[in-house]
Structure 1
Amino acid sequence: MKRMESTAPALPAVGQSLGHESGPLHVAGRATYIDDMLEIQGTLHAAFGMSTCAHGRITKLDLEPVRKAPGVVAVLTAKDIPGLNDVGPIIHDDPILADGLVQFYGQAMFLVVAETHEAARRAARKAIVEYETLPAFLTAAEAAAAESWVLPPVHMQRGPDTQAVLAAAPHRLSGRAAHGGQEHFYLEGQIAYARPGEQDSMHVYSSTQHPTEMQHAVAHMFGWHSHQVSVECRRMGGAFGGKESQSAQIACAAALAAWKTGRPVKLRLDRDDDMSITGKRHDFEFEWEVGFDATGQILGLKLLMASRCGFSADLSGPVNDRALCHFDNCYYLDSVDVRNLRCKTHTVSNTAFRGFGGPQGMFAIEYIIDDIARFLGVDPLDVRRVNFYGPSSGDARITTPYGTKIEDNVAPALVEELVASSDYRARRAAVAAFNASSPVVKRGIALTPLKFGISFNATMYNQAGSVVHVYADGTVMVTQGGTEMGQGLYTKIRQIVANEFGLPADAVRMAATDTSRVPNTSATAASSGTDLNGKASQDAALKIKARLAAFFAQQHGVAAESVVFADGKLISGDIQQAFGEVVIAAYRARVQLWDAGFYATPKIHWNKDTMQGKPFFYYAYGAACAEVAVDTLTGESSVLRVDILHDVGKSINPDIDIGQIEGGFIQGMGWLTSEELWFRPDGSQKGRNMTHAPSTYKIPAASDCPAILNVKLFDNANVEDSIHRSKAVGEPPLMLAFAVFFALRDACSAARGSAAPLNAPATAEAMLRAIGGLA
């Protein structure tokens, strides 16, 4: 038996910028995604038949032309589903296949199973379908006017009577704004590969952020128990929330086809179909009244937030709840009255997206702050600063509208550091001087902060499990409940476990996430992947370490508490032995070399009825300063420079964290500038998503990146006992992009000579309208 001996330097694995564990495979094109897997002999391929009506009853569905198409093996409808025809994660209102009623253009009505992917897609277009058309609402405003809800409206109030405060305020403004949705545009589309097993069982390879939810959905569809279904995911080519709940329809359809045919079935959505059939970020419309004093301090705020949820509830409840828990951002709001409408529209059901409602809520308060500053004629940064939460050491101005006391507020210090490092004040003056002498091109600058809560709103999901195996040759295998979508979760957990055992990272291997190995997993979402699964993996490793330390101590006559794991060895004073030697000896002595770990986030609680509690374990902070230029004749814009300072606590892997900050920022910039969803408002194709391909939907390209992009990590340990005092980094950086949007608004306002009514995304057309040059 060959034993692994460490050649690692005397440095801990945690805190080092180790490369992504799949990086070499990515570069070489050898990383195996589901569509790269070798197909089992007899594998079939599936495709959905999709509706061409936004809202209607199916009066005729002739599938004979589909069945007769070349290569078709089976055509399945809702009647072929033996159990529950639903994939709604919370409410049962989201059918796998439409059963008589279609509620958005592109809804899946039937499933074609054929010998090839192309044959299935071609056949699906041959169905003859007729509809009785019903009224269709496409926007939140239309739905609100008709009181069409997926969930009842929610009302949050806090502090003194808001109407009285508004009436007594020295200054009072009203306004409105809106932002659009956003397509996830993951590089790997939705896909599942189902393999039927013996004794009514099914193994599903699913590109999903939530293997356990896929397991439950498939089991419920069949009327089976959970132990009959296993779901596996080694890696995803991106997800961004789009594979949290919406991968269930794909997993269920593939499993249904495999069960019906008795053969393995792969269902891979074509990009156009994917963008038509899957949900997006919720777009919101806002109306407000705000009262404030001469310094810009907000005294009272009345806010209406209406979100377009789509035809079913999906995750709209928790997404909107998180928007309600983030509309304060970094600002203390003493008197608030907020009404939130969850609007049912006849469009695809919107779902989780990076930030999960947080960006939507923050958009509103940042717009309001910007309006106040322009009304007072002062720098928006000064209004932001005067409204910051107070210092955590005091009792005043530290309680959120949802009842949490802010105990880790570093926003003021972080912002001041960025003001200095970005040379904000001098550049603000330089922008004003440039605009005074430039009639066509206008520049804008903005510095915006963020505070983002980390944990799931639903408290039960704040738990995780992991299993760590130490093999007799001294190598380690980890299986945990989080999924890898490119964000580096597997890399960080590999570092965490290697650090505990004092091993080089390459002595630790990550196994695919699989519900048959770690049960009852939580979604890899809410930025909590490393927090939860890292702690669970550490817990498992600590149990094994304790046994090995006790064994080593017994062998050498030393105290177990004196044993240190470092440099690939177990060390106590002058006594040291290679990790691999200790492990093989412990194996021969019948010492248990594997264990399971578990972690549940402490301190959090939430009452969804009163909208009060402590829903977040801690907050991540950050700030960005952006400078832009706008051509007032064409509406074209460019981002000239961005400076970012972001709080990740004590970083486990600085390079991965900086990569996440850069990627999140650029994705947020796309949402706020170029990524425009457009559904045909009328005619025979009413409700059709016309931005359903890269040719019609504009994500940021390399040329859209800022010419200067400075990113720095803020020096700050988490006050809470998170894994190695780090902080989550997946979602918060997206909101740094507000600096770009408000810099664009600054430039448009300079051109207009007053506050520009700019909505997001700030496309060229939107900016021309805001300036006043386009009707």
Structure 2
Amino acid sequence: MRKLIKQPFSGNPQGKVGKSHPHESAIRQVSGQARYVDDLPQPANLQFAAIGTSPAASGVIKSLDVSDVWASPGVSDVITVEDVPGHVDIAPVFDGDPIFAQKHVLFHGQAMFAVLADTVHHARQAALKAKIDITPSTPCLSVDAAKQQSNFVRPPHFMHQGDFDSAYKASTFTVQNHLSIGGQEHMYLEGQVSMAISEEEDRVLVYTSSQHPSEVQKLIAEVLDCKLHKVVVDMRRMGGGFGGKETQAAQWACIAALFAKRNQCAVKLRLPRMQDMIATGKRHPFENSYKVGFDKEGLINAADIEINGNCGHSPDLSDAIVDRAMFHCDNGYYLENVKVAGHRCRTNQVSHTAYRGFGGPQGMIVAEAMMDAIARKVGKDPLSVRKLNLYGENQRNLTPYGMTVEHNLLADLINRLENSSDYWARRDAISKFNKHSPIVKKGLALTPVKFGISFTAKHLNQAGALLHVYTDGSMQINHGGTEMGQGLHTKIGQIVANEFGISLHDVEVTATRTDKVPNTSPTAASSGTDLNGKAAQNACIIVKQRLAKFYTDEVNDLNLTADNVIFADNKVTLGENSIGFVQLVQNAYIGRVSLSSTGFYKTPKIHYDRNTGNGRPFFYFAYGASVSEVAIDTLTGEYKVERVDILHDVGRSLNPAIDIGQIEGGFIQGMGWLTTEDLKWDDSGRLMSNNPATYKIPAIGDTPEIFNVDLYARDNDEDSIYHSKAVGEPPLMLANSVWCAIKDAISSLTDYQIDPQLPAPATPEAVLNCIESLGNITISERIE
């Protein structure tokens, strides 16, 4: 059961935003007509590439013999690192990501060479025939080992506020714990794929499934040793990204482009699913710990939090990801005296990368673990402890990194959800149920979300757009954001239609291309609509100003100015004068008025000083809360999420249906991370959970039978696009309530006296182990 709330829309009555328009590609997607890279018509002389990978996780390359690869049927080219004419390192920020292994292998499954052949089958068969001789070395495969060796991809980072040591010593109660948090495979429906076409004058056109076309363009140019203007990257849509295509789509595009340039042909490279899972990074696993001091009511006095990210073999985006984990280890709670340390641990695993939430979830879950531990220690319901510790006013609104929490909605939002979900009545009913149910135990938890919106790298908070208005009144808008199913293009189309007061079907959002809008930021950090929507609006305003001035001059009424012109309902009105929008555009064209413009936007107010650990890294916070109810079988560890209630803050929603879809999808994906999605490596560093048969994402049967999603209808206080808020990442962290509810059910076995030490993901095996670790609760005692 799901409720779709019709959110009231105040202001801007033209009606193109604030309404539930369907996704612009929905019909094409369900009918199979939506084109992805692998669906494009094949160009002439298309060849196919495949990758040969390392059989070891760490060692020195003694020899790489590809003679049998060359001799394999259909093969036309084989390349290794020695064949790269330009840069070998294709790292996004800090060095460490070679396009092919160079002297050393860094993880099991690392690309060592690539082969080009006339068919996909021939290319993949040939890639298996290389003779690879590696002198193995002992791989570093855990955070603990990396810390013991001081083996970090980037230096540690620290934040602090107040006087932790004194406050901790003065605390009535103290708790300290460790929390293991697993990673997560992106499992996008469309895998990593690129097609490169060699064109005249040393140009190359690349179609790629990437969240960051501009970075792909830059890296291809560096690998080919050419200027950026010789490379065009085109990205119409992705079949999912979730962060896995922010940096790690570039390698495969670079290899395809390298083959295309060498052989003057078109080249497609698509990783098979198992190789995709082995050779590309995941959500970072974390090993976190905390010490917290508090009073008899459960109010926190002091907290010392250590964040340890397993970054894999290279930095990739780990510096910023661990930063964001540190920024979110408070979640919605005020920590007056606090120390936060962040370590970026190097291991011989694939380089872990961006994933929806970008480190925020791995930090936020520590805050929720602390709340549960405090509640069990003082004998209170965890919700009461959570509410007691929320950010407030009167100096209880400063984060550990020095940012003031303004316009805090959590107290009101939680109270509303507490009432609408009947939290306390259900708590009483569950307590009674558990007393009379020896085997099946139920759990309930309400957890909040406070998530910062902006790239933590300040320079990425910018966007551009290109608008063309044609003489029939139709328009094309191009922007730097990428569509991966989240509805970004739909919202951009709504914004443009709203600005001009025209029909949505008169606006076409075109494929993201580096020759239309240059130097773009990745579509990530939940900033796609915030940035690109504002840039598109800016382009619209420029053209509207030209049209308004032209119409004002035509009307020639000295009492009216261009500021009085209104664009609405496919008309343009000035006082008592009115003209059809199409007619005005045609008149303006005849009058030699430019009907095209670029737009630009940069996020205001943000800054952060890493040296002092202080600043304002976020433009605003998005808030939310969820209540989850679970039932677990204490004999097997199996469980079912029976009901979920969500109230989520999206500001003034641009498209309620799309926003609710994002909230539902984000929650389920977060639930998967915390419950079923279990990455497993063996002792040699080989990924064992490397296909859909050995890695379990949530299925439709895992969806809660009762699933209520409401929007918290309140305009963003900051000047975001139409005062909306980002909705891509924050909902994933609503799933913390599922993990906490499972813990709540386990804790009922001890009459809620003990806080269970449950890792994430809380698989049935982990739940059963956690129950058995309680020790003094036997099956016979439960049955009696």
Q: C-alpha separation between the residues in 2 aligned to 1:720 and 1:82?
A: 48
**More displaced stretch, 557-566 vs 191-200:** 557-566
- Check if 1:307 corresponds to 2:309: yes
Match of 1:243 in 2: 245
Match of 1:64 in 2: 67
Amino acid at match of 1:131: I
**More displaced stretch, 334-343 vs 672-681:** 334-343
| Of 665, 670, 673, the match for 2:672 | 670
TM-superposed CA distance for 1:340, in Å, is 1.4
Q: How many residues align?
A: 759
Match of 1:567 in 2: 569
Amino acid at match of 1:151: R
Q: 2:326–2:341: 8 Å Cα contact kept in structure 1?
A: no
Q: C-alpha separation between the residues in 2 aligned to 1:397 and 1:747?
A: 32
Amino acid at match of 2:708: N
TM-superposed CA distance for 1:554, in Å, is 1.8
Match of 1:655 in 2: 657
Match of 1:706 in 2: 704
| Of 165, 168, 177, the match for 1:166 | 168
Q: C-alpha separation between the residues in 1 aligned to 2:498 and 2:707?
A: 32
TM-superposed CA distance for 1:387, in Å, is 0.7
Amino acid at match of 1:718: N
Q: 2:14–2:498: 8 Å Cα contact kept in structure 1?
A: no
For residues 259-281 of structure 1, the C-alpha deviation after alignment (integer angstroms, 9 at most, x for no partner) is: 11111111101000100000000
Matches within 5 A, 1:329-368: 329-368=331-370
Match of 1:215 in 2: 217
Q: C-alpha separation between the residues in 2 aligned to 1:389 and 1:328?
A: 10
Matches within 5 A, 1:500-649: 500-558=499-557, 559=560, 560-649=562-651
TM-superposed CA distance for 1:774, in Å, is 10
Amino acid at match of 1:473: D
Amino acid at match of 1:505: L
For residues 607-647 of structure 1, the C-alpha deviation after alignment (integer angstroms, 9 at most, x for no partner) is: 12222110100000000000000001111110000000000
**More displaced stretch, 135-144 vs 268-277:** 135-144
Matches within 5 A, 1:226-625: 226-391=228-393, 395-558=394-557, 559=560, 560-625=562-627
Q: 1:232–1:513: 8 Å Cα contact kept in structure 2?
A: yes
Q: C-alpha separation between the residues in 1 aligned to 2:50 and 2:742?
A: 42
Q: C-alpha separation between the residues in 2 aligned to 1:229 and 1:431?
A: 61
Q: C-alpha separation between the residues in 2 aligned to 1:66 and 1:77?
A: 12
Matches within 5 A, 1:117-156: 117-156=120-159
SS of the equivalent of 1:537 reads helix
- Check if 1:760 corresponds to 2:760: yes
SS of the equivalent of 1:252 reads helix
Amino acid at match of 1:757: Q
Q: 1:42 to 1:676 in 2, by over 3 A?
A: same
Amino acid at match of 2:731: P
Q: Using structure 1 for the length normalisation, give the TM-score.
A: 0.97
Structure 1: unaligned runs, 5 residues or longer: 1-8
TM-superposed CA distance for 1:751, in Å, is 2.8
For residues 115-136 of structure 1, the C-alpha deviation after alignment (integer angstroms, 9 at most, x for no partner) is: 1111111111111111101110
Q: C-alpha separation between the residues in 2 aligned to 1:387 and 1:553?
A: 57
TM-superposed CA distance for 1:711, in Å, is 0.1
SS of the equivalent of 2:174 reads strand
Q: C-alpha separation between the residues in 1 aligned to 2:205 and 2:328?
A: 39
SS of the equivalent of 1:772 reads helix
SS of the equivalent of 1:646 reads strand
Q: C-alpha separation between the residues in 2 aligned to 1:774 and 1:128?
A: 52
For residues 711-742 of structure 1, the C-alpha deviation after alignment (integer angstroms, 9 at most, x for no partner) is: 00002110000000000000000000000000
For residues 46-82 of structure 1, the C-alpha deviation after alignment (integer angstroms, 9 at most, x for no partner) is: 1110111010111121111111111111110000001
Q: 1:768–1:774: 8 Å Cα contact kept in structure 2?
A: no
Q: 1:752–1:771: 8 Å Cα contact kept in structure 2?
A: no
Q: C-alpha separation between the residues in 2 aligned to 1:115 and 1:334?
A: 64
Match of 1:771 in 2: 771
Q: 2:626–2:647: 8 Å Cα contact kept in structure 1?
A: yes
Q: 1:678–1:690: 8 Å Cα contact kept in structure 2?
A: yes
Q: C-alpha separation between the residues in 1 aligned to 2:726 and 2:39?
A: 31
**More displaced stretch, 58-67 vs 9-18:** 9-18
**More displaced stretch, 363-372 vs 753-762:** 753-762
TM-superposed CA distance for 1:224, in Å, is 1.6
SS of the equivalent of 1:494 reads helix
Q: C-alpha separation between the residues in 1 aligned to 2:360 and 2:608?
A: 17
SS of the equivalent of 1:165 reads helix
- Check if 1:715 corresponds to 2:713: yes
Q: 1:468–1:595: 8 Å Cα contact kept in structure 2?
A: yes
Match of 2:54 in 1: 51
SS of the equivalent of 2:625 reads strand
- Check if 1:77 corresponds to 2:76: no
| Of 176, 180, 183, the match for 2:182 | 180
Q: C-alpha separation between the residues in 2 aligned to 1:461 and 1:296?
A: 40
Amino acid at match of 1:459: K
TM-superposed CA distance for 1:199, in Å, is 2.1
For residues 532-584 of structure 1, the C-alpha deviation after alignment (integer angstroms, 9 at most, x for no partner) is: 00000000001111111111222223422222111111112332211111111
Match of 1:5 in 2: none
Q: Using structure 2 for the length normalisation, give the TM-score.
A: 0.96
Amino acid at match of 2:70: R
Q: 1:752–1:772: 8 Å Cα contact kept in structure 2?
A: no
Q: 1:210–1:245: 8 Å Cα contact kept in structure 2?
A: yes
| Of 712, 718, 736, the match for 1:738 | 736
Amino acid at match of 2:763: T
SS of the equivalent of 1:310 reads coil
For residues 667-712 of structure 1, the C-alpha deviation after alignment (integer angstroms, 9 at most, x for no partner) is: 000000000000012xxxx111111100000000000000000000
Q: C-alpha separation between the residues in 2 aligned to 1:564 and 1:337?
A: 54
Match of 1:751 in 2: 749
For residues 156-206 of structure 1, the C-alpha deviation after alignment (integer angstroms, 9 at most, x for no partner) is: 22112x122111111111111111000000000011111112222211111
TM-superposed CA distance for 1:758, in Å, is 0.6
Q: 1:310–1:343: 8 Å Cα contact kept in structure 2?
A: yes
Q: 1:231–1:515: 8 Å Cα contact kept in structure 2?
A: yes
Match of 2:6 in 1: none
For residues 322-368 of structure 1, the C-alpha deviation after alignment (integer angstroms, 9 at most, x for no partner) is: 11111111011011112211110000000000000110110111101
Q: CA RMSD in A?
A: 1.2
Q: 2:190–2:239: 8 Å Cα contact kept in structure 1?
A: yes
**More displaced stretch, 129-138 vs 413-422:** 129-138
TM-superposed CA distance for 1:223, in Å, is 1.9
- Quote the sequence identity (%): 51
Q: 1:587–1:593: 8 Å Cα contact kept in structure 2?
A: yes
Q: C-alpha separation between the residues in 2 aligned to 1:669 and 1:358?
A: 15
Amino acid at match of 2:604: P
Q: 1:311–1:347: 8 Å Cα contact kept in structure 2?
A: yes
Amino acid at match of 1:705: T
Q: 1:765–1:774: 8 Å Cα contact kept in structure 2?
A: no
**More displaced stretch, 640-649 vs 748-757:** 748-757
Match of 1:6 in 2: none
TM-superposed CA distance for 1:143, in Å, is 1.3
TM-superposed CA distance for 1:11, in Å, is 4.3
Match of 1:38 in 2: 41
